[in-house]
């Protein structure tokens, strides 16, 4: 036996001397075996473009817009995978997979991802929009829905009616002149939101807050290496981290003084009436240094808000309320200017239902069937928030595809609204499709049409947003006849958008009004 081993050892040594590559013949198959085994046991990600080692698909960063992701979905399908540095991303662009994310597995996908900017600027997720799904978020949501965003509350706000009235007055003074609709409606939603939040309409304050929010918006959207490759977070070539700290300091000094004023006024007992009170007043009813969170139904006893919570919610309202509604109104006007037949039909309906002796009131809206179709068709083609951004709370699967815990899950609402499997002639503006198709509401039960999202993280400001959208658009259409300037043809109206937190029109819509009603507008 010993001899055999010795002989074999000698022959092996001899072979090695004559052929030094010999060990590779043994090692390579073993490595290959383990490689193949690991490939088989590896979880299967959704299909997607091949990435580079370490950086993954980071070279495709510019394609992370609703349009870029729609193009990728045309190539890879309704669910696709990208890897940005260490971050896995799953992009869903079809109703079936959207239903998985927003309904069937909603508790798994109800978290929000937090970038470095989001964490710091939202006071470490002290708000509702960036809070992870859990008891704290549930209480915040309940508070916002019941106290701040209800339709009854919105209707009680004279601010919306007053501001729509003053917008029509501004237009009436510009008869025969070009009106920049984008600027007009941005001014409107800015005033409504500012008044709803703080109770006043001070111009200086509004401008200061808007500058701060514009900086926030840039910082939310900025590319920060540390978000994708955390161990390179110290390298901050653009100085983003300093800008983030400065931006929050500016918001602090702005809102702290407003909160202090409200506390003083409350002490003086001037603002205990619900109609007079603004959002800060409502939130101060829950103000207390200690945050006690549980699932009790008794909101008043269960939730204590800190100053950071109040600032965070106000930030959500400013971001949620201003640009979403303004961009929806401008898109609706642009689509109708491009489609004179539909413009004529909707104005005829307004004349029939409301009559041309007065402006549109809340009670008219429900009777305006074609007008409602125009609202829906606008939100289908131009959802103000085109991408819903969620995060997986744990390892999960969609259609057998692996979605790792803490990966980003994006629902491309813009692509879904233009999906040719769901919509006939999807790129065309055809409000009448909503007369026959049974896509009736925005509540998110229909996964072909998700302008306000669906399920737990859907928009809590939907009623309020719709109310402002409907009242403003109905009055613009009813009070004036609109024409394009300088003989411009409807087909020449620019319809490009820009990508940010929302997707507003790239070039402002400019149109010329003439009064249409037999009643004074100012
Ligand atoms: C036309 C108007 C609006 C549209 C189309 C819209 C749409 C949306 C969408 C799509 C979402 C995300 C859903 C998801 O991630 O699954 C959202 C969330 C949100 N919206 Fe709106 N929104 C509008 C107006 C408003 C208004 C007026 C407010 C408040 C005053 C508001 C406050 C919020 C907040 C706080 C969230 C985060 C909710 C959470 O994470 O739990 N929105 N909205």
Per-residue pLDDT of the chain (522 residues; tens, 9 = 90+): 444 445 444 444 455 455 655 555 656 555 555 555 445 456 799 999 999 998 999 999 889 999 999 999 999 999 999 999 999 999 999 999 999 999 999 999 999 999 999 999 999 999 999 999 999 999 999 988 888 887 666 655 667 888 999 999 999 999 999 999 999 999 999 998 888 888 876 666 778 888 888 888 888 878 888 888 888 777 777 788 999 999 999 999 989 999 999 998 888 865 555 556 788 988 998 887 554 444 445 555 567 899 999 999 999 998 888 999 999 999 999 999 999 999 999 999 999 999 999 999 989 999 999 999 999 999 999 999 999 999 999 999 999 999 999 999 999 999 999 999 999 999 999 999 999 866 567 777 799 999 999 999 999 999 889 999 999 999 999 999 999 999 999 999 999 998 878 899 999 999 999 999 877 666
**Calpha distance 321→327 (Å, rounded):** 11
Which residues fall in the annotated binding site?
A: 459
Pocket test for ligand 1, best of 324, 455, 501 (most atoms within 8 A of CB): 324
In sequence order, the β-bridge partners of residue 483 are 512
Helices of type H across 177-306: 181-198, 203-221, 225-228, 240-267, 279-284, 299-302
- In the block, tokens 């390579």 appear at 28
Q: If you measure from the C-alpha of residue 221 to the centroid of ligand 1, how many angstroms do you get, rounded to a whole number? A: 18
pTM of the model: 0.88
| Structure token pair of residue 78 | 């309704």
Give the chain's end-to-end CA distance (angstroms, integer). Answer: 113
Nearest residue to 458 (alpha-carbon basis) of 447, 468, 469: 447
Pocket test for ligand 1, best of 320, 331, 380, 453 (most atoms within 8 A of CB): 320
Q: Report yes or no for ipTM above 0.95.
A: yes
Please state the atom number of ligand 1 nearest to the C-alpha of residue 112: 40
**Calpha distance 478→476 (Å, rounded):** 6
**Calpha distance 390→109 (Å, rounded):** 6
Q: Which residues contact 226 (CB under 8 A, 6 or more apart)?
A: 116, 232, 233, 234, 235, 236
Q: Which residues contact 419 (CB under 8 A, 6 or more apart)?
A: 93, 94, 95, 426, 448
**Calpha distance 91→313 (Å, rounded):** 28
**Calpha distance 208→227 (Å, rounded):** 29
Residues constituting the chain: 522
Which residue's CA is the closest to the ligand 1 atom numbered 15? 388
Q: What is the pLDDT of residue 200?
A: 75
In this structure, the strands spanning 480-483 and 87-92 are: unpaired
Pocket test for ligand 1, best of 377, 461, 473 (most atoms within 8 A of CB): 461
| Structure token pair of residue 89 | 């991303």
Could you tell me if 278 and 153 are in contact, meaning their C-beta atoms sit under 8 angstroms apart? no
In this structure, the strands spanning 87-92 and 408-412 are: parallel
Could you tell me if 390 and 411 are in contact, meaning their C-beta atoms sit under 8 angstroms apart? yes
Q: What is the pLDDT of residue 169?
A: 94
Q: Which residues line ligand 1 (CB under 6 A)?
A: 128-129, 141, 149, 316-317, 320-321, 324-325, 328, 384-385, 388, 451-453, 457-461, 464-465, 469
| Structure token pair of residue 105 | 């597995």
Q: Helix, strand, or coil here: 408?
A: strand
Q: What is the pLDDT of residue 3?
A: 46
Which residue's CA is the closest to the ligand 1 atom numbered 40? 129
| Chain centroid, CA 143 distance in Å | 20
For residue 94, CA distances in Å to 68, 194, 251 come to 15, 37, 39
In sequence order, the β-bridge partners of residue 347 are none
Cα-trace Rg, the chain = 28
């Amino acid at each position: 036996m010993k001899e055999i081993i010795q002989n074999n050892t000698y022959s092996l040594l001899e072979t090695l001397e004559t052929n030094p590559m010999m060990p590779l013949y043994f090692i390579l198959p073993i490595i290959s075996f383990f490689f193949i085994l690991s490939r088989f046991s590896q979880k299967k990600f959704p299909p997607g473009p091949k990435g580079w080692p370490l950086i993954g698909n980071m070279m495709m960063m510019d394609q992370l817009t609703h349009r870029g992701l729609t193009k990728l979905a045309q190539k890879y399908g309704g669910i696709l995978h990208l890897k940005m540095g260490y971050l896995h991303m799953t992009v869903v662009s079809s109703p079936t997979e959207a239903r998985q994310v927003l309904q069937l597995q909603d508790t798994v996908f109800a978290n929000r991802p937090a970038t470095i900017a989001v964490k710091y600027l939202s006071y470490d997720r002290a708000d509702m929009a960036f809070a992870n799904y859990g008891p704290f978020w549930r209480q915040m949501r309940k508070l916002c829905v019941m106290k701040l965003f209800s339709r009854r509350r919105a209707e009680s706000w004279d601010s919306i009616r007053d501001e729509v009235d003053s917008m029509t007055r501004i237009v009436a003074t510009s008869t025969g002149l070009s009106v920049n609709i984008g600027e007009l409606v941005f001014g409107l939603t800015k005033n409504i939101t500012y008044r709803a939040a703080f109770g006043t309409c001070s111009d200086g304050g509004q401008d200061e807050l808007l500058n701060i929010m514009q900086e926030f918006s840039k910082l939310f959207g900025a590319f920060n290496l540390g978000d994708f490759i955390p161990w390179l977070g110290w390298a901050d070539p653009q100085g983003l981290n300093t800008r983030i700290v400065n931006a929050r300091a500016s918001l602090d000094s702005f809102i702290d003084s407003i909160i202090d004023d409200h506390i003083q006024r409350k002490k003086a007992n001037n603002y205990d009436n619900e109609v007079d009170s603004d959002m800060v007043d409502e939130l101060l009813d829950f103000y207390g240094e200690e945050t006690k969170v549980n699932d009790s139904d008794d909101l008043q006893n269960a939730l204590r808000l800190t100053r950071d919570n109040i600032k965070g919610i106000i930030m959500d309202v400013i971001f949620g309320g201003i640009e979403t509604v303004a961009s929806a109104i401008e898109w609706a006007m642009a689509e109708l200017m491009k489609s004179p037949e539909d413009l004529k039909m909707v104005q005829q309906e307004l004349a029939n239902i409301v009559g041309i002796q007065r402006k549109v009131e809340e009670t008219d809206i429900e009777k305006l069937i074609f007008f409602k179709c125009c609202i829906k068709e606008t939100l289908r083609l131009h959802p103000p928030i085109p991408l819903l951004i969620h995060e997986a709370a744990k390892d999960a699967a969609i259609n057998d595809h692996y979605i790792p815990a803490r990966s980003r899950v994006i629902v491309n609402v813009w692509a879904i609204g233009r999906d040719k499997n769901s919509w006939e002639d999807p790129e065309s503006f055809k409000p009448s499709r909503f007369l026959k198709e049974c896509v009736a509401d925005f509540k998110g039960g229909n996964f072909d049409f998700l302008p306000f999202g669906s399920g737990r993280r859907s928009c809590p400001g939907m009623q309020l947003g719709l109310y402002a959208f409907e009242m403003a658009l109905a009055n613009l259409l009813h009070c004036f006849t609109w024409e394009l300037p300088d003989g411009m043809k409807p087909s020449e109206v620019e319809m490009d958008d820009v990508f940010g937190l929302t997707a507003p029109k790239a070039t402002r819509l400019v149109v010329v009004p003439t009064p249409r009603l037999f009643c004074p507008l100012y």
